[in-house]
Structure 1
Amino acid sequence: MMPRSWKNAKKRCLLEGATLFFPELSIEADVVLDHLKKTLSMPASIHVGISSLLTKGVFITVNGDALRDVYNAWAPGEPNNYNDEEDCVVMRSDGKLMDAKCANKLPFICKKTKIEMDRKWNEECNSPYLDYEYNEDLGRCYKFHLYPRSWKDAVETCDAEQAYLAIINSQLEAEHLVNITANAPKDKIKGSYKRGIVHLGFIYDKTIGDWKTIMGETLEQAGYAEWGNNQPDGGVNMNCGSMFYNGQTDKNFFRDDYKFIEDSHSFYKIHITTRTWKEARKRCELEGASLFYPEDVEEVESVITFWNKTQSFNTVYIGISDLMANEVYITVDGVSIKDVYNNWAQGEPNNSDGNEHCLTMTLNGTLNDDRCDKKYPFICKKNQASIKWNDFCNIPDLEYRFSDETSRCYKLHSNPATWSEAALVCDIEQSYLAVINSEIEAQHLAMLTGDAFSTNEITSNLCSSIALGFNNKSKTGWKTILGENIEKSGYNQWAENEPDNGKGDKECGAMDYNGSLTSISCDAQCYFICEHENKLLGYVDDRFSD
């Protein structure tokens, strides 16, 4: 047995589902001493589960028993609390007890009674640990540990439980581990830890210049090597393996409001609110997609089938126009119409009245040129292969940046907009116009703004504020975009002489570049910050916390 300090010996036994041994009777002490003589090469003292750590001079067992109720054969002159620093108890090779420094590293014994073993057994996992859960599809058992540890400590914890730090062998297993994490109890979050990732059983082996599992295989040999975006990044001391637990494990997912069509390996969303051609194109781009145009007959048939099942209108805009050069039709991706689907309706294109420059498609699959300022429904499309997933923020937008301090993601928009336009953009991005809930968050948003100025991402403009998610449009007090009064949101630090609504035209919320709240005209063109909550982040348990 590896010598440990008293606290670490107690911790190791707990990890193994046992307790640090202490003799209850002299006969038990004799049995253990006989066992030690047979297993240790030379006589040695061992830690036992008795200490006076709770109350100086009052010795109790790890189970809370008074010392008078268990074996208590002290050696002569013990306990003596030498130098006032002996709070833990050891048993010598002659069976006598003495107090000693808790930091001393000694052998130890863990104990589990047969009655406890018989009473609690995980039949499915053939383990004494009831919190391991069996997965029938994978034929394996898993346990999500809620108390955060270093990678090395995580390996030891799993080993103590007669298991190993999880290794992913398939896409199915990756999805299962993400589901386990998503369903972990969020009400036990405590302490400081790195959010968004969990330890896994692989590590970088410098001797071979590759990543290996703790079983000795390369990731490719293990069966799963799907790295997150820009991973592994080769950062200093980034040698231990982990998994983003908020990543796009389902490759057939883009956004909740998009439908995946297998035949074209793409995602589609039908917008029933009519817009002009340019407005439709912009809306699709804001959603991280593009205005749909059919590439071939097969895609037309698949999309029309989807369209027919869900909507009743007959015509939609598609992403093709001759706005760049008259009668030179190109897609929103810059491809000539000659190289994509181009089944024109009879007599089309005809550029009626010399003002038809945008294309529509009807339910029968034929194309027609039409006025760009007319309003039609439209379809947005995202090709599966083009998706770039933001693993930390669990969103298909790499411009959002995760904050360890707030466990939220933020995106500073460098194209100024009115307050209502900004709120709409954030909503389209599955986020909301940022709401400050603490001094820490205010400092973080001010830092984002400062970084953007330093990189010339933004420059000074007429609106010297950053639009945020609160307003007083109702004239009943300042409220956040989430419906809270600003006083209850957790942050109410206004800049000097704010809110300023002397002329009645400053009813929307913002912050100055230092993070103090300000009021602005709702029509002012300002930079703005969107905030995205990743609901999968969190989780800890302090069961073994010191």
Structure 2
Amino acid sequence: MILQKYLFTLLIIFACSVAGKQFRFDYDYSEYADGWFKLHLIPATWHDAWLRCDLEGSILASPINYQMKVAMDSYWEAKKTNDCAYYTGINALFSHGDYFSVEGVPLPRMPVKWAPGEPDNFNNNEDCIVLTNGTIADVNCSEIFPYMCFKKNTKDIIMTSCGTVDKEYKMESLTGNCYKFHPVGKSWKRAFMTCAAEGSYLSVVNSPQEALLLKKIYDANYPKIRPGTNKDVIIIGMHDWNEHGVWRTIHGSTIEEEGYADWAQGQPDNSSGQYCGAMFRTGKLDDYWCQSTAPFICEKSPDSLLEP
């Protein structure tokens, strides 16, 4: 029994980086699960947890087999958190009572047991599953819990010159940074979240030359913008903190200090409360409604996801 426990411990040792196995510095590699884990301690609803993992290029982890169950339990214990439960990817959102992982594995195939008194389907409204002390329980998906993301190691995971496995980021020699155009429109806050999850930030314009670069990226991707999305502007990394006329980048400096404050004619006009920043196809700046959606460009330095 002691030998078995010792071998078990060896199998579940985690390392922040493994030679030849790189994903991003904030994920820990598990040899046993052959993939990377990240525990998000800031609680979220199930949907927001799923979305954050998805934006980071991973999935909401589920104990779909023995190896994953052991690895998840070990990682949770290693973090020594005071929380007693965390979200898994197991849910019945598509069909009440039919639980599947986000990969499509049915719950009866998983090596898990219900906690005492579970499932209780309280108020007939518990479609998501948490892991608690090695067992599972059903909860309301709008409740907030910590959660664990997982990225399986596959042959197509290749670290690019942009310091990411996301092949859509392209290096630009003008700035030495990498850029990615998102053709699906999102609100300013959701765009900010998307870039942050990818290890980047909403693009900041530092010079007239960079404005022309963003215009070039905008033009090249214009045909890819999804139907129903506002094609007139792209969202960029500036705002006025709901204080008219005090336009700053997401890095805290004024746009004048940053090096580019070329507004389109008649802008900023603050039409019905436009507090977020955008850019027209001309390369000129625009103030935009924060809740309205538009395409956007993320910008990242090549080392933003590498070990500090």
TM-score, reference length from structure 1 = 0.49
Other-structure match for 1:200: none
Task: For 2:119 and 2:99, locate their aligned partners in 1 and report how far apart those are by CA, in whole Å.
Answer: 10
Other-structure match for 2:5: none
Other-structure match for 1:493: 262
Residue number among 116, 121, 130 corresponding to 1:360 in the alignment: 130
Q: CA deviation at 1:432?
A: 0.7
Inter-CA distance 410–459: structure 2 relative to 1 (3 Å threshold): farther
In the alignment, residue 137 of structure 2 is paired with which amino acid?
A: N
Does residue 343 (structure 1) correspond to residue 113 (structure 2)? The answer is yes
Task: For 1:524 and 1:339, locate their aligned partners in 2 and report how far apart those are by CA, in whole Å.
Answer: 43
In the alignment, residue 126 of structure 2 is paired with which amino acid?
A: E
Inter-CA distance 460–362: structure 2 relative to 1 (3 Å threshold): closer
Does residue 316 (structure 1) correspond to residue 86 (structure 2)? The answer is yes
Q: CA deviation at 1:297?
A: 3.1
Structure 1 residues 132-531: aligned runs within 5 Å: 250-310=19-79, 311-363=81-133, 365-385=134-154, 388-454=157-223, 456-459=224-227, 461-462=229-230, 464-473=232-241, 474-475=243-244, 477-501=246-270, 505-531=273-299
User: Which range moves more in the overlay, 365-374 or 251-260?
Assistant: 251-260
Task: For 2:190 and 2:59, locate their aligned partners in 1 and report how far apart those are by CA, in whole Å.
Answer: 20
Identical positions, percent? 32
Matched-pair contact (CA < 8 Å) for 1:463–1:525: no
Task: For 1:339 and 1:448, locate their aligned partners in 2 and report how far apart those are by CA, in whole Å.
Answer: 46
Task: For 2:63 and 2:57, locate their aligned partners in 1 and report how far apart those are by CA, in whole Å.
Answer: 18
Q: CA deviation at 1:361?
A: 0.8
In the alignment, residue 433 of structure 1 is paired with which amino acid?
A: L
Inter-CA distance 376–498: structure 2 relative to 1 (3 Å threshold): same
In the alignment, residue 303 of structure 1 is paired with which amino acid?
A: M
Q: CA deviation at 1:514?
A: 2.0
Q: Which has the higher contact order (CA 8 A, sep 6+)?
A: 2
Q: CA deviation at 1:351?
A: 2.5
Give the unaligned 5+ runs of structure 1.
1-247, 537-546
In the alignment, residue 283 of structure 1 is paired with which amino acid?
A: R
Task: For 1:388 and 1:253, locate their aligned partners in 2 and report how far apart those are by CA, in whole Å.
Answer: 8
Higher gyration radius (CA)? 1
Task: For 1:466 and 1:434, locate their aligned partners in 2 and report how far apart those are by CA, in whole Å.
Answer: 10
Q: CA deviation at 1:380?
A: 0.7
Inter-CA distance 368–506: structure 2 relative to 1 (3 Å threshold): same
Q: Which runs of 4+ in 1 moved over 4 A?
A: none
Deviations 1:382-423 (A, max 9, x none): 112276335121112122122233322111122222222211
TM-score, reference length from structure 2 = 0.84
Deviations 1:320-370 (A, max 9, x none): 11222232221101122233333223453343332221111112x111222
Instruction: Report the aligned-residue RMSD.
Output: 2.3
Matched-pair contact (CA < 8 Å) for 2:277–2:286: yes
Deviations 1:245-301 (A, max 9, x none): xxx994333222111122111111111111111111111101111001013334323
Inter-CA distance 469–532: structure 2 relative to 1 (3 Å threshold): same
Task: For 2:153 and 2:196, locate their aligned partners in 1 and report how far apart those are by CA, in whole Å.
Answer: 22
Give 3-state SS (helix, strand or coil) of 2:32's partner: helix
Structure 1 residues 23-34: aligned runs within 5 Å: none
Task: For 2:155 and 2:44, locate their aligned partners in 1 and report how far apart those are by CA, in whole Å.
Answer: 25
Matched-pair contact (CA < 8 Å) for 1:452–1:458: no
In the alignment, residue 286 of structure 2 is paired with which amino acid?
A: T
Deviations 1:4-52 (A, max 9, x none): xxxxxxxxxxxxxxxxxxxxxxxxxxxxxxxxxxxxxxxxxxxxxxxxx
Inter-CA distance 264–368: structure 2 relative to 1 (3 Å threshold): same
Residue number among 301, 304, 308 corresponding to 1:533 in the alignment: 301
In the alignment, residue 328 of structure 1 is paired with which amino acid?
A: D
